[in-house]
Amino acid sequence: MTKKFWIGLVIFFIIATLGVFYQKHVKYPHCDYDGSPVPPIYEVEIILKDGAIKRFCSIYCAVQWFKNNKHNVDHVIVTDEIRGNKIDSYMAYFVESELITNETNDNCIHVFQQRESAQIHMDKFNGRVVDDPFELDE
Amino acid sequence: MILNIYTIIMLFIAIVSLSLGGFLLSLTLKAIITFNTFVPLESKTKYEQKGYLIFLLGCVVIFIRMLAWPWFYFMLQSFVPEVPGAMCIFGVTRIMPSTVTFLQIIKPVSFFFMGGWIFCYYVDKAHPTSPLTRKILLFLLPICTLLFIDSGTDIYYILFMKPLVSVSCCATFFDVPLRPSAMIPQAIFGKNFDTALFFLYYFINIVLVIFLFLTLSNKWKSLLHLSDKILLYIQSGIGLINIPVVVLSFMEVIAPKLMQLPFHHCLYCFIGNGIVPDAPLMLGLFIIGTFSIGWIGILRYICKNSAAKQVTDIFVKRVNSLSVFCLLTSLIMVTIHLVLT
């Protein structure tokens, strides 16, 4: 094996490590409630009245923060677990099931854009539909 | 037609390669018809100049066409915001689906044969008497045909591609329970196929890398007691089996894990959405690594019974090293992501 071969391998090793670093620390933000990295599939964004955005790693964290800051919130964007689409919380289907999304806080509320996806999840993980936890007062 | 910088460049590439390709084809045909192994000394310079022009033109056109393959996906990615309902390249491929499917097949095929031609040309160039000139000229004919079909379809697609046509999202195709990428391995490995598929991915890739690695060293090769031909057949066989295994493993296991979207199996989202920034590199390295095995086959076939055996062996070793490097690097990159993500 030539020197070039090993140098090339090291370069790609570094590229892959940087890719992971970017994915974990640059592309994905940290939760504004518990500071853990926000997985894109479970991301919740709370948009405040002044336009600022708060990001959370799970419905649990977002709800905890939301309870204390309801008066500042304009609207809430949640992520469809199937496709990763960002949707307004009032359009989403929330399902509480036996499947835990976050081992740290035992969050078991799941978000779906389509009723069909929610039904499949409920059948599979013994779940039930719950109300939008981010309902704002009129 | 969607007009943006990507389509303009793609159109430019297609028109340039069509026009240069036409000129190249006429020169090649003339050169083949008038080809003579023994050229009188007085016309030798003229003959050499003509040959030099053909091969230079061939290299330029082929290089441009090879670049058109990755550029095609950049162009499709740029169409995503213009197509209602499209979340990734998959949505764009739903408009004129047969043309896009054809382009997605013809482009890797062209890339493969054009890459093979480039290596043969370099073998011929490295030999002082250029013993492969006639074969390389003949090889240019099917390549010109591929080039015309590829460029022509590119132009047709760009000109007739209709934006603002509503399409379905990739989830309706890739994430349904009866998706082909799940049904095929399920039929072979049973319901919990993902673990078996994942191990098979590593097993086949490691075996392939070991085989390619062994052929690099004469010492190890002599221990195997296998001729070069048999070794090439074994490598090609494993390489061919590896293609569906890698594609299915990426769709079913690797891409969802790396994207952190456990229920999403779309490879277009994996390479195009920037969730995994080095995903195109992983797949690109795998493609080059696999194609390199085929390029060794082309080199062996074109250069057999010629005076350039020594030069061919040197180039075969280089391409072999390229294959080992690309496959190993792709495997390492996937592993790093799986471990660290």
For residue range B149-186, list pLDDT tens digits in order: 999 999 999 999 888 777 877 777 887 778 888 888 88
Contact at CB, B278 and A85, closer than 8 angstroms: no
Kindly state whether residue A138 falls inside one of the protein's structural domains: no
B166 belongs to a structural domain: no
Is pLDDT above 90 for A26? Answer: no
Structural domain for A79, as ranges: 31-130
pLDDT in tens, B9-53: 999 999 999 999 999 999 888 888 877 666 666 666 666 667 788
For residue A136, being part of any structural domain is answered with no
ipTM of the complex: 0.76
- Are B114 and B230 contained in the same domain? no
**Structure confidence by residue, pLDDT tens digits, B254-295:** 998 888 777 778 898 888 877 888 899 999 999 999 999 999
Assigned domain for B25 exists: yes
Where do we find the tokens 């009723």? A115
Alpha-carbon distance values, B179 to A23, B65, B98, B144 (Å): 28, 33, 20, 37
**Residue A86, domain member (yes or no):** yes
CA distance linking residue A65 with residue A34, whole number of Å: 10
Phi, psi of A112 (to 5 degrees): -135, 145
CA distance B204 to B225: 22
For B280, phi then psi, to 5°, come to -60, -30
Is B80 part of the contact surface with chain A (CB cutoff 8 Å)? no
Nearest in space to B111 (alpha carbons), one of B312, B317, B284? B284
**Which of B160, B179, B207 corresponds to the end of one domain?**
B160
CA torsion through residues B247, B252, B258, B260, sign: positive
Q: Does residue B126 belong to any structural domain of this protein? A: yes
Residues B156 and B188 occupy one common structural domain: no
Contact A22 B277 (CB under 8 A): yes
Question: Residue B185 belongs to what domain range?
Answer: 171-340
Q: Which residues of A touch B90 (CB under 8 A)?
A: none
Is there a domain that residue B64 lies in? yes
Question: What is the domain count for chain A?
Answer: 2
Residues of A in contact with B285 (CB under 8 A): 12
Comparing CA positions, the residue from B154, B147, B115 lying closest to residue B28 is: B147
Q: How far apart are CA B41 and CA B45, in angstroms?
A: 8
pLDDT classification of B226: cutoffs 50, 70, 90: confident
Query: Domain check: are A18 and A83 in the same one?
Result: no
pTM of the model: 0.79
In this structure, are B236 and B154 located in the same domain? no
Contact between B276 and B337 under an 8 Å Cβ cutoff? The reply is yes
Beta strand pairing call for A128-130 and A44-48: unpaired
Domain count, chain B: 2
Query: Long-range pairs for B48-53 at CB < 8 Å and ≥24 separation?
Result: B51/B133, B53/B27
Instruction: Taking residues A36-51, report their average pLDDT.
Output: 86
Do both B151 and B236 map to the same domain? no
Which residue shows structure tokens 């990428």? B181
Among B residues 242-261, those touching chain A with beta carbons less than 8 Å apart: 259-261
User: In angstroms, rounded to a whole number, what is the distance separating the alpha carbons of residues B157 and B110?
Assistant: 17
